[in-house]
Structure 1
Amino acid sequence: MGRDFYLHLLLACLSIAQWNSSALARNSTGSQVSSRSRHGMGIKGQVLHRSKRGWVWNQFFVIEEYTGPDPVLVGRLHTDLDSGGGKIRYILSGEGAGTIFVIDEKTGNIHATKTLDREERAQYTLMAQAVDRITNKPLEAPSQFIVKVQDINDNPPVFLNGPHHATVPEMSNVGTSVIQVTATDADDPSYGNSARLVYSILEGQPYFSVEPQTGIIRTALPNMDREAREEYLVVIQAKDMGGHMGGLSGTTKVTITLTDVNDNPPKFPQSVYQMSLSEAAKVGTVVGQLKARDPDVGENGMVTYSIIDGDGKDLFEITTDSQSQEGIVKLKKLGMDYETKKSYSLKVEAANVFFDTRFVSRGPFKDTTTVKISVEDADEPPIFSQSVYFMKVNESAPAGTPVGQVHAMDHDLGRSPIRYSIEQQSYMDRFFIINAQSGVIKTTEPLDRELTAWQNISVIATEVNNHIHTSRAQVAIKIRDINDNAPELAEPYEADMCENANAGKLIQTIKGVDKDESANGPRFTFTMAPNQNFTLIQNSGHTADIKVRRGAMNRRKQEVYLLPVVISDGGSPLLSSTGTLTVRVCSCRADGSVQSCNTEPLTLPAGLSTGALIAILTCIIILLGK
């Protein structure tokens, strides 16, 4: 027979021995006998009137999982009324009666006919009854008793949730809590050590440890580095029987991932980067990319780039690509010229956006590298020696008069010859011509400053070897003034005066104008032929005053005076012109205001015949004809 049979047999013997011991104690002291008073309560409140009697039994136990060939003895029912001889019949009812538990009617012995599982059911409540075998009358009131299923260690510890996943920051201190795992055991925790669990680590050392009583997993090594190893598999065992030999066990797996902390600075893999860019590149052109490596992840690995020094820091800029974490070098502004400077140098810095102050002692969270940019020669358009040229030419200069010269040059290695031309933008451009080889500009016909004082033309320089490459320069030509316009009166002056005006009376102020520039006429000179009635007074600047030389003019004698005035400029050569001032003699009121300037009809002398009048008119016509 197997070990289990002997174990069950041993437990049964212990139960019987305990029952016998209890019986002896009961017989001697009566303390363990279930006795009733004469007026005790029977079944369903029935009052029993009998002498002192009682059932005799102890607590019944049956060991679980018994697999022997014979039914296992659970215990024996016995009443103190049973004196032997088979006069009493024992009856069993209640949970499992007749199926799980059977009773010998004569002896009261109870056997378990099936294997029991404490984890399925820990106890059974049964009812015992003793009746007279002949009359079938109850001799004892039915009494309830319990059969307990005795636990054995037949259930291993079980981890209900698993496999497990946990995280812990890299570089954590030894003893940092990671996760707690818990196993359960279906065995009876109140009986023996079947359910007393002890945790141990089977896999995952020396990196992690587990607390035997709680199942808390902790770090066991200092400075675990995620960049060296990120994931660990830990196997935890839970063993019952307090971890002693013979206990049952269960395991679970825990995958532990080290989370990142910013413990690494960025690092350029190269100390020098070589890049190149055409001198003709436009602003914003990408020169190249570079990347500092940071083994940290997420925001811990975010890097920002900047140019901190170098002779090209004003020409170039660097930006950070947030996706690739690359530094993008771009042209910031124009200014590269292969013929002037063939290379530039930049000192670029990469720095962490965020860093963990715990690791500052490891050094600055930044690194630097050198970027050398070579300027590539490009076939560029010719370049004028000046962006704007200023030239002068005299007005009225004959056709073919040189105005000035422009000069452009191809700075590329080929040094292509240049051909010049004037861009025809308006009709005024036809007044100039340019020599295609020399760039000398000349007039095509005389110019008039008074028509236009400035002329702007656009000169085009084209490479002979590559007509696509052209450039333009503006030429501003000033038409210089010469004294080719005589001064003249500003307007045809007419003035009225009283016939009784006093000597020195101002009749009119006249003004001169000149189309030429002031350099050719800084001051006008006014002159008038001697006149007994009027005089001319020169003013400073461009005016003169006409005044009465003597008063009391007779309007009847002469009512209109025509005064020729000569006006001269101060230019070279001196030019002059003559203008006329018309003065009418008027009759005035006493206050000096003009009353009438109209001619009054003449009264013929008395007795003058018509023939005489015709003769006088004929003489006047003859005189005027001369």
Structure 2
Amino acid sequence: MKLGKVEFCHFLQLIALFLCFSGMSQAELSRSRSKPFFQSGRSRTKRSWVWNQFFVLEEYMGSDPLYVGKLHSDVDKGDGSIKYILSGEGASSIFIIDENTGDIHATKRLDREEQAYYTLRAQALDRLTNKPVEPESEFVIKIQDINDNEPKFLDGPYTAGVPEMSPVGTSVVQVTATDADDPTYGNSARVVYSILQGQPYFSVEPKTGVIKTALPNMDREAKDQYLLVIQAKDMVGQNGGLSGTTSVTVTLTDVNDNPPRFPRRSYQYNVPESLPVASVVARIKAADADIGANAEMEYKIVDGDGLGVFKISVDKDTQEGIITIQKELDFEAKTSYTLRIEAANKDADPRFLSLGPFSDTTTVKIIVEDVDEPPVFSSPLYPMEVSEATQVGNIIGTVAAHDPDSSNSPVRYSIDRNTDLERYFNIDANSGVITTAKSLDRETNAIHNITVLAMESQNPSQVGRGYVAITILDINDNAPEFAMDYETTVCENAQPGQVIQKISAVDKDEPSNGHQFYFSLTTDASNNHNFSLKDNKDNTASILTRRNGFRRQEQSVYYLPVFIVDSGSPSLSSTNTLTIRVCDCDADGIAQTCNAEAYVLPAGLSTGALIAILACGLLCKSCQNNNNVLQLSYFLLHFFVVPFGESVNIPLDGVLLTK
């Protein structure tokens, strides 16, 4: 017999109700039926509601209301005198009741995942009085779960890594699926996991979702990434269960399981002998299938005849071995070198050392190529000496250069005139002999640094440079002289034997044993009565007074000729004049004035007369030449000078007069 959709839904409800009833014991049914709900103060017969526990299947899709259950009071005689009222969650909007029969129906599709149960209240009223015949009672309508939600991986898709060569059973990552169905009822939310894609490399534990390696010795260098599809199925994986999937990208991380290997067993490089020290000769690289730190290299020269000539280092960015020169190459001395070079990983995984050594070697041969080199001087610097008294054309010294190439081309010499602008020297083009071309003066230039050029005769572009330092030796050709311009004074009140000046001398010459000067007064001055000279024997001399009572009025300046002799061979001498000024000094012997002389008025000439004489000159503006008047005034003053008198200072046209 074929059932319609509505009939099929009612059939499912009946099955659910049957299961609910079958789960209740006989005692529970009896208690449910006999439980009293209302007792008044007066003695009356027990009455109670009569209904079963209500369950409603979720997701009902029928067009007719879904029958939920029936409310019934034992006071209802079936004569229509009792009216049933329903209130609470979903009353009227979701659940309706037939007030005559107490039948409850659901009018909307219910979803347990939105709300699992509804709490309602029921009343039985007397239809005529509208008064309750039973106390209001609360009951629950539970939404019966069906398997309508598939498992979901809320954290997917997943990414994970596991070291290559991991043993079977190594945990990779755990995936978790969530099912929104009721975990307390049936198997709707009981999930099992399985792997749909990724076998035979990986497996998943059905209950926990832990993904593990399933094959040994998975090699990153063969394949470094795997895409897994994991399924979660409810109903414990049985037929009819719902399922969900997620993807897991597993990357094999690198371990140092591959030794370095040179792609070639030998290499050869040609380098010119002129390559400077520290230049790169070659770059070699050992291949390593690993990556990152596991592929980092160390290179070293382990054998060969170029151990001291070359060195190898690693380029941190490219992991190449860089071979550089440590010493200058010389084709004429050695034409080739052989190096044995080893490459090794810095940190090898001990698990794989049994596979063999984690290093490799190769041979590098370096061929030195000949280069046409410029002439080379036998010495980097030629120090030479010559007296400043030497004659023009005398030989100073010789330089020598040769062609280092096997051709040994002849060499011609010349002087770089940028280093000998005054052309003091010449050089023989063939022999390298250096001679003087001009007179030399040590006091003008004590050292001449010149550059000598050596040029190959067969290839003039090849030029070598030699350096010559010519030191000019001193001769005694300069006389000594005062070390400075002395400003010597003597006080009018100086006492005999008083030192008024200490003098020293200088000499442009530089004798090897140092200077020694001898001081004296000239023959003409040696017998003077004013000053004497004392040689201190330490290249200084002292000037002393021989009398007292120097007067500026008598003589204001003295000139003292000093004779100085050096210790050269032959010795040289000079006469230097010391100027001594007579000064008016204070009590401490400090000069106050030295230039102006004092004029003292005679006793018979009053101050008024002096002023009158000067006033004549100042006030005579009509005179043709005022200077004549002033000169006459000065003459009159000088004429009347006497040794004693009162003094007064009168400034007149820049001349200081004293009365």
Shorter-normalised TM-score: what interval? 0.5 to 0.7
SS at match of 1:266: coil
Aligned to 2:113: 119
1:92 corresponds to 2:92? no
Query: Where does residue 463 of structure 2 map in the other structure?
Result: 470
Give the match for residue 205 of structure 1: 199
1:420 counterpart letter in structure 2? Y
Q: Distance in 2 between matches of 1:318 and 1:135?
A: 113
Unmatched runs of 5 consecutive residues or more in structure 2: 439-447, 471-659
Post-superposition shift, 1:468?
A: 4.0
Classify 1:24/1:149 alpha carbon distance in 2 versus 1 (closer, same or farther; 3 Å): closer
What is the aligned partner in structure 1 of residue 14 from structure 2? 13
Separation in 2 of the partners of 1:402 and 1:143?
A: 142
1:346 aligns to 2:339 (yes or no): yes
Q: Deviations over 1:98-155 (max 9, x none)?
A: 1211111111111111111111111111111111122211110111111111111111
Match of 1:355 in 2: 348
Deviation digits for residues 56-81 of structure 1, max 9, x if unmatched? 11110111111123222111111111
Question: Partner residue of 2:588?
Answer: none
The whole-number CA distance in structure 1 between the counterparts of 2:201 and 2:79 is 76
1:283-302 alignment to 2 at 5 Å? Answer: 283-302=277-296
**Structure of higher CA gyration radius:** 1
- The secondary structure found in structure 2 opposite 1:209 is strand
State the secondary structure of the residue aligned to 2:196: strand
Who is 2:236 aligned against? 242
Q: Which residue of 2 aligns with 1:304?
A: 298
Per-residue deviation, 1:444: 10
Partner of 1:499 in structure 2? none
Question: Partners in 1 of 2:134 and 2:251 — Cα distance?
Answer: 71
Asked if 2 retains the 8 angstrom alpha-carbon contact of 1:38 and 1:48, the reply is no
The one-letter code sitting in structure 2 at the alignment partner of 1:314 is G
Q: Match for 1:315: what amino acid?
A: V
Structure 1 residue 227 corresponds to structure 2 residue 228: no
Question: How far is 1:398 from its partner?
Answer: 12
Work out the CA distance in 2 between the residues paired with 1:438 and 1:378. 26
Is 2:413–2:427's contact at 8 Å kept on the other side of the alignment? no
1:62-461 aligned at under 5 Å gives the runs: 62-334=56-328, 336-384=329-377, 408-412=401-405, 415-421=408-414, 434=428, 436-437=429-430, 460-461=453-454
Task: Tell me, in whole angstroms, the C-alpha distance in 2 between the residues paired with 1:100 and 1:457.
Answer: 118
Q: What is the distance in 2 between the residues matched to 1:264 and 1:73?
A: 74
Q: Which amino acid aligns with 2:287?
A: R
CA contact (8 A) 1:15 1:60 kept: no
Structure-1 separation of matches of 2:341 and 2:330? 23
The SS at the match of 2:362 is strand
CA distance in 2, matches of 1:3, 1:80: 35
Q: Distance in 1 between the 2:9 and 2:271 partners?
A: 94
For residues 461 and 202 of structure 2, the distance between their equivalents in structure 1, rounded to whole angstroms, comes to: 75
C-alpha spacing 1:34/1:98, structure 2 compared with 1 (3 Å): farther
The residue type equivalent to 1:351 in the other structure is A
Tell me: CA distance 1:476–1:182, structure 2 relative to 1, closer, same or farther (3 Å): closer
What is the distance in 1 between the residues matched to 2:17 and 2:385? 142
Q: 1:58 to 1:378 in 2, by over 3 A?
A: same
Alpha-carbon distance between aligned partners in 2 of 1:332 and 1:22, rounded to the nearest angstrom: 96
Residues 1:31 and 2:24 aligned together: no
**Whole-angstrom CA distance in 2 between matches of 1:272 and 1:100:** 90
Alignment partners' CA distance in 2, 1:347 and 1:88? 113
Sort the Cα spacing of 1:340 and 1:7 in 2 relative to 1 into closer, same or farther, 3 A: farther
Quote the Cα distance in structure 1 between the aligned partners of 2:405 and 2:354.
54
8 Å Cα contact 1:38/1:49 also seen in 2: no
Q: Identify the residue that residue 567 of structure 1 maps to in structure 2.
A: none
Deviates more, 1:111-120 or 1:346-355: 346-355
Structure 2 CA distance for partners of 1:146 and 1:21, relative to 1, 3 Å: same
Listed as ranges, the gaps of 5+ residues in structure 1 are 41-46, 446-454, 478-626
Q: Structure 2 CA distance, aligned partners of 1:376 and 1:2?
A: 104
Change (3 A) 1:241 1:77: same
Distance 1:458 1:38 in 2: 134
Alpha-carbon spacing, 1:475–1:31, altered in 2? closer, same or farther (3 Å): closer
Q: Distance in 2 between matches of 1:22 and 1:278?
A: 102
Shift of 1:401: 10
CA contact (8 A) 2:71 2:104 kept: yes
1:2 CA displacement: 7.6
Report the Cα distance in structure 1 between the residues aligned to 2:255 and 2:148, rounded to whole angstroms.
Answer: 47
In the superposition, the TM-score normalised over structure 2's length comes to 0.62
Q: CA deviation at 1:422?
A: 6.3
Contact 1:26 1:33 in 2 (8 A): no
Deviation larger for 363-372 or 462-471: 462-471
1:245 to partner: Cα distance: 0.8
Describe the shift of the 1:422–1:85 C-alpha distance in structure 2 as closer, same or farther (beyond 3 A). closer
Q: How many Å apart are 1:185 and its aligned residue?
A: 0.5
Which residue of 2 is the match for residue 484 of structure 1?
none
Amino acid at match of 1:156: E
Question: In 2 relative to 1, CA 147–442 (structure 1 residues): closer, same or farther, beyond 3 Å?
Answer: closer
Check conservation: 2:6, 2:64, Cα contact below 8 A: no
**Distance verdict in 2 for CA 1:218–1:48, change over 3 Å:** farther
CA 1:127–1:437: 2 relative to 1, 3 Å: same
Kindly provide the amino acid, as one letter, of the partner of residue 331 in structure 2: Y
Q: 1:4 to 1:149 in 2, by over 3 A?
A: farther
For the 8 Å contact 1:318–1:329, the answer to whether it is kept is yes
Alpha-carbon distance change, 72 to 422 in structure 1, aligned in 2, over 3 angstroms: closer
